[in-house]
Amino acid sequence: MGALATCAVLYGWNRFARALPELHGWHRQAPAAEFRAADARPGYTFDDYLKQETKVFEQLDALVAGPWRGEAVGEFDRFRSASVCNPEKTLERNWNRSFVFQAAKPIGGVLLVHGLSDSPYSLRALAERLHAEGYTVVGLRVPGHGTCPRALAEVTCDDWTAAMKIAVRGVRGLIPPGTPLVLAGYSNGGALSIHYVTSALADESLPAVNAVVLFSPMIGISPLARVSPIYQVVARLSGDEKAQWSAVSAEVDPFKYCSWPMNASVQAWTLTQEVERRLAAIDRAGRRRQLPPILAMQSAIDATVVVPKLITVLFDRIQPGGASELVLFDVNHVAWLDNLVNLSFEREIRPRLERTDLPFRLTLVVNAATNSLAVKAQTRAGDSWTEIALNAAWPKDVFSLSHIAVPIPPTDPVYGTADATAKSGLPLGSLTMRGEHGALLISDSLLIRQRHNPFYAFMADHVVKWLAESTKPH
């Protein structure tokens, strides 16, 4: 039965791959100068990383202007120089690249780490807010990202973790001794942040972290990801390059890949499994108190990560009585949506949150009343609850947040509301199209998935306040 099942999977996967759209140059080629873990020799600094990144983008420009030039056609293609999707022209700078916002008198340093297939752009708004508050902020372009999808097909999680160590040392060197060092990770960047924290606990030569902020952290992903390495077998047996991909889509997003190489899933699975093992080992060794305080912002509905695992794998292993907090954005429970939303997720999450011995503070952002789109924040610390009304409400056509929406403000010029995206001419956060399913060369999720957070202002204020409280000297 096992052999038959394997053959069936191989056959089905091969048929699926052959049905994908044809590959382009950006699926087959990538800049050769991309950072690898082997580059992190003694003495290699974050300045060296930035110089190497410049070479990466020079090579990307050469590919766009050279062999890919005849393949990039139409108004919406990030690899066509004149396209509105070209990241060099969409906004005032190319936000796919690492950036450094140096404060005149830093009150601390923050390393921002984006998610899988993403780029530093996704945490741009938070970077600007934290810099305005007095932090020196560095946005790391994680290797394999911000250039072309092929780069993500070649990278390894070892490359990511090596880059993290270099970037953290870079931030530590930009701020005064004694000021707090913070990691802020989104999705896969959240897993990388926790991985670094556990590395620093085992290696005193690595700078210590004083606080961690997570957005939709990829702490646990679907167990189905464990079968992703089989794509390598399919690709070899079929001889079809497309077997290395689970999605081949038009590249209309200037700051996020639309195509998805199977290698991305393999590396994410490898990373999250290692993070789980390390957290379990820390718990068994009785070292909970050595973890820095952690703040996580998470949508209750998330198609990318397993939300209950965020609680069981990470938050249940936090030392009680500290500053750690989970902020959970509930689904929109306005009455008319009652029988339209699948609420089965609540059966997994709620029992874990209704315990009286939670070792962390819990904040729920929920409807203020059954028939109200307005929201309130309910915070539980121990057995006591407090409640505040927020100056925010659900948009009438939004039933939940999503994995990708949490760190994005409604004012974002690419992923925000229709008024906001009018500035860039690229309405990816407010795109509305109608027609037959499966006809477009973009994912249907681009049309339905919520791409910005209507409660972003509350969230950003909460992050700033929490950092001030959790990193102050005791």
pLDDT in tens, 407-427: 999 999 999 999 999 878 888
454: its two tokens: 């209507």
pLDDT in tens, 62-111: 999 999 998 988 788 999 988 989 999 889 899 999 999 999 999 999 99
| C-alpha distances in Å from residue 177, one per residue of 112, 181, 464, 471 | 20, 10, 21, 14
pLDDT in tens, 346-362: 777 878 788 878 999 99
Please compute the mean of the pLDDT values over residues 295-324 and round it to a whole number: 92
SS3 label, residue 3:
helix
Phi and psi angles of residue 15, each rounded to the nearest 5 degrees, phi first: -65, -40
Domain coordinates in residue numbering, the chain: 2-470
SS3 label, residue 99:
strand
**pTM for this predicted structure:** 0.94
Query: What's the CA gap between 327 and 367, in Å, rounded?
Result: 15
Nearest Cα residue to 165 out of 144, 152, 181: 181
* pLDDT beyond 60 at 4: no
Nearest Cα residue to 471 out of 347, 340, 292: 292
Please compute the mean of the pLDDT values over residues 319-345 and round it to a whole number: 85
Q: Which of 122-136, 343-357, 397-411 has the lowest mean pLDDT?
A: 343-357
User: Which residues make beta-bridge pairs with 101?
Assistant: 137
Choice between 7 and 25, residue whose per-residue pLDDT is larger: 25
Query: What's the CA gap between 199 and 224, in Å, rounded?
Result: 27
Find the angle CA(104)-CA(107)-CA(113) to the nearest 5 degrees. Answer: 95
* pLDDT beyond 90 at 8: no
| C-alpha distances in Å from residue 473, one per residue of 154, 173, 316 | 43, 20, 25
pLDDT in tens, 141-189: 999 999 999 999 999 999 999 999 999 999 999 999 999 999 999 999 9
User: Which residues make beta-bridge pairs with 186?
Assistant: 215
418: its two tokens: 């229709």
CATH number of the 2-470 domain:
3.40.50.1820
Mean pLDDT of the chain: 90
Tell me the residue ranges of DSSP E strands in 241-373.
Answer: 245-247, 260-261, 294-299, 325-329, 361-367
